[in-house]
């Protein structure tokens, strides 16, 4: 079973920040938090990952709480093309266990 809890769906207005939460209260010390997304019919796309510190790349920012029991993926300026299912995964990278993710819909 996936070790994360995510809301099943969220909506966001185009141009606004999308903040996707994830709970992972049983995360182990050596497990990373990964975020992937899957746009309809395509393969999952890697977004970002982190261990303890907040991370930012060209796609998104990842905020991890100090106790590491939850995290938030931030898409700073959502576009219609960001509509997808977003998966939060905790893993040591050898095996990824995907849950059902959050269906993010970006509205015009």
Partner 1 sequence: DAGITQSPRHKVTETGTPVTLRCHQTENHRYMYWYRQDPGHGLRLIHYSYGVKDTDKGEVSDGYSVSRSKTEDFLLTLESATSSQTSVYFCAIRKTRDSQETQYFGPGTRLLVL
CB 100 within 8 A of CB 8: yes
**For residues 57-86, which are near partner 1 according to CB under 8 A?**
none
- 88 sits in which H/E element: strand 84-91
**For residues 17-36, which are near partner 1 according to CB under 8 A?**
32, 34
What is residue 5's DSSP assignment? B
Residue linked to tokens 């939460």: 21
Binding partner 1 (rule: CB under 8 A), the pick from 44, 59, 61, 103 is 44
95 part of the interface to partner 1, by CB under 8 A: yes
Give the footprint of partner 1 on this chain (CB under 8 A). Answer: 2, 32, 34, 41-46, 49, 51, 87, 93-101
């Amino acid at each position: 079973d996936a070790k994360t809890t995510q809301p099943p769906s969220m909506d966001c207005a185009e141009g606004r920040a999308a903040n996707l939460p994830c709970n992972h209260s049983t995360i182990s010390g050596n497990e990373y938090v990964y975020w992937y997304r899957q746009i309809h019919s395509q393969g999952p796309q890697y977004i970002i990952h982190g261990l303890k510190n907040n991370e930012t790349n060209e796609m998104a920012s990842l905020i991890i709480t100090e106790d590491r029991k939850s995290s938030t993926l931030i898409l700073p300026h959502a576009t219609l093309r960001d509509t997808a299912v977003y998966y939060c995964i905790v893993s040591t990278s050898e095996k990824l266990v995907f849950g059902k993710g959050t269906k993010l819909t970006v509205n015009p």
